[in-house]
Amino acid sequence: MRILVLGATGFLGRHTASRLRALPGAHVRVAGRAPAAGPPSGPAPAELPPVDLAAADPGRLAALLREAAPDVVVNCAGAVGGSAVTLTAVNARGPAVLCEALSAAAPDARLVHLGSAAEYGPAEARLPVGEGAPARPLGLYGASKLAGTLAVTGSGLDAVVLRVFNPVGPGAPAASLPGRLAAELRRAGPDDRVRTGDLSAHRDFVDPRDVAEAVALAVTAPRPLPAVLNIGSGTARPVRDVAEGLLRAAGFTGPVGDRVAEDGDGSPRSAAVPWQQADITAAGRTLDWVPRHSFTESLTDLWAATAPATEPVP
């Protein structure tokens, strides 16, 4: 099976490419906006030239796809921050260009695209959100991801959108709250407090390795698949638990408030979407997928992954 992973240099893309390489009989090629880290002599043989879907020409991308001749394309490319131009180009235009190029060059290939829980917007009361819930994104990020989802589901391709909730685990970027908290707690002195906004909003956190496993199952699943599948833990927990879990992983046993001050500027989305939890029934039924990594394990591994080469004894 020939698998092409786009966005392979990103947080979820790296975990996904690693998992797909372990599939029996899989030949995985990767591409990102920048070359992946490789040996000094050059990129790994399975790496394609850099691909930036936000600026790609559909014809040139189709030519690359013809050369790669993939059986499956996995699109992990996405932007969680930046200007309006960046968000719409990467999250909305990118999937549309990819679908057009795939339709021309590899119309029988399966497309697995990573969407976002931000596409849903506020939940009805405190109920798990299923794939049939109305999409009512509140900000440009969610709206741009929804536009990308609509491009994929309306393409006529053999495609599925895995709507990922809040990924947390090793490699979490500084643009995410878990990644930023881990980095700031690493830098903080013994008497310093890290400032955040209010951490009382509830979110559904899922490990990136569980996301990668869902991708692998979607890649190999018999046809057809539903248009959209939720990928989360199925549990809503206070964002404050992220701070507490990281502190416990660091060996700190005191009150969270001694090291984290919630008196900074908060996220507007936290106030507008105070509670969100995925209904993951469909993913379990369709893919036989369940999350395997515990929340504690995700945070412990995130903390360990941020350690410097030589870490002082606490």
Long-range contacts of 65-69 (CB under 8 A, 24+ apart): 65/4, 65/101, 65/102, 65/105, 65/106, 65/109, 66/105, 66/106, 68/2, 68/4, 68/29, 69/2, 69/106
Contacts for 82-88 with beta carbons within 8 Å, 24 or more apart? 84/140, 86/54, 87/140, 87/141, 87/144, 88/140, 88/144, 88/147
The answer to whether residues 203 and 296 touch, using CB atoms and an 8 Å cutoff, is no
- Beta strand 166-167 with 205-206 is parallel
Closest CA to 302 of 177, 193, 202: 177
Which helix (H) or strand (E) covers residue 116, if one does? strand 110-116
Instruction: Report the distance separating Cα 209 and Cα 260, nearest Å.
Output: 28
Point out the catalytic residue in the list 120, 141, 205, 295.
141
Whether 141 is a known active-site residue: answer yes
- Which residues are the active-site residues? 141
